[in-house]
Amino acid sequence: MSGVMPQTRDIAGPASSAYRVLYRFRDQSHGNYPAAGLIEVDGSLYGTTRFGGSNTGVVYRVTTNGAQSVLHRFGGSGDGQYPTAGLVDVGGTLYGTTSAGGASGDGTVYSITPSGEEKVLFSFGGPDGAKPWAPVINVNGTLYGTTDSGGAHRKGTVYSVNTKGVEKVLHSFAGPPTDGEFPIAGLINVNGTLYGTTQWGGNGCGVSHRCGAIFSITPSGEEKVVYSFGGPDGAFPHSSLIDVNGTLYGTTYGGGTYGDGTVYSITTQGKEGVLHDFGAANDGMLPQAGVIDVNGKLYGTTAAGGGASKDCRIGSGCGTVYSVTMSGVEQVLHGFTGGSDGGYPVANLIHVKGTLYGTTASPEVDMYDGISTVFTLTP
């Protein structure tokens, strides 16, 4: 591992934030379990749900006044199924991935217009990748993404696909000790080089070699591991990175002082530092989502923690929305109860005109039939 900068574990007192449920998914036909974040296009929010609709997910739109409509229900012959990733806007057309379905059942890249015209752009089939859990990103009109499995070693891939549906595998992950494996997060573009995370692999956890890695890859397919997690510095990154003035920031689902995840920073040269360790009393735990930067402060969600609730399977709470400064001072902005406010947020937040928007998948007690929401929070 590269050198780890000193950790900061300061936690500020409770914050006063205006939290509001914008929309509740009240029946299966309108979707259920929004595991993906939102995007804003022309004043409306667009997202996906993994379940609901025809039981295999939907693409939906919701206005900032809370009016929701379903653009597409997945599940027809050859269509995608179970979208876990959000969308990207390319010239007025939205693009996304489904983790299953398509011609071979291994997932798809699809396009959809704001009026609901959907088509499968590419169907995965094993050697070219399988189970794309992550969203795609747009780099000069070409889409780039990752698959959780498939490829030459069956441990995931980085791929590109153009808007005509021509796909290319840029890298097949080989696994430890020299490479990552099983990426479930998307990529970011930093000055023409792509960066991402793998939830397992790397060389940082002794004989198991499975604490995860950060990698870089060029559009031509030159890949290298930038950093391998070792446990105390974080483990099992589920989320993508962000770039803030040349430094990358992200979260790990596990590891850290309490074993419940971290917020970390890392340079493109591989110098990593922990900003915050999750898991202290009433703090968040187990962040599946990454962070966003709003005016020099990071905001994110955790899938558990925030205080005990009878409606949460994990006794420490149904998740949080939090902020953390660049110096490592963290605040819990909202602790979910699993009741009418929802629970189990696993997706990134977005920031629109001073307001944060996010989704809750459902309370931990029942992720399939619980209350899924779109929410707003004004820090």
267-294 residue pLDDT tens: 999 999 999 999 998 899 999 999 999 9
- How sure is the predictor about 379, in pLDDT bands with cuts at 50, 70 and 90? confident
pLDDT of amino acid 3: 36
pLDDT single digits (tens) 175-193? 999 999 999 999 999 999 9
Both tokens assigned to 300: 């994110």
The conformation of residue 256, written as its DSSP 8-state character, comes to S
CA-closest candidate to residue 328, choices 276, 284, 293: 276
- The CA-to-CA distance between both ends of the chain, in Å, stands at 36
Residue 7 has pLDDT above 50, yes or no: no
Please provide residue 340's backbone torsions phi and psi, each rounded to the nearest 5 degrees: -65, -20
Angle at the Cα of 177 (from 174 to 179), degrees rounded to 5? 40
pLDDT single digits (tens) 16-69? 469 999 999 978 889 999 999 999 999 999 999 999 998 899 999 999 999 999
Q: Do residues 305 and 275 touch, judged by C-beta distance below 8 A?
A: no
Q: Do residues 257 and 243 touch, judged by C-beta distance below 8 A?
A: no
Domains, the chain, in order of start with CATH, read 4-16+33-290 (2.130.10.10)
Q: Do residues 266 and 274 touch, judged by C-beta distance below 8 A?
A: no
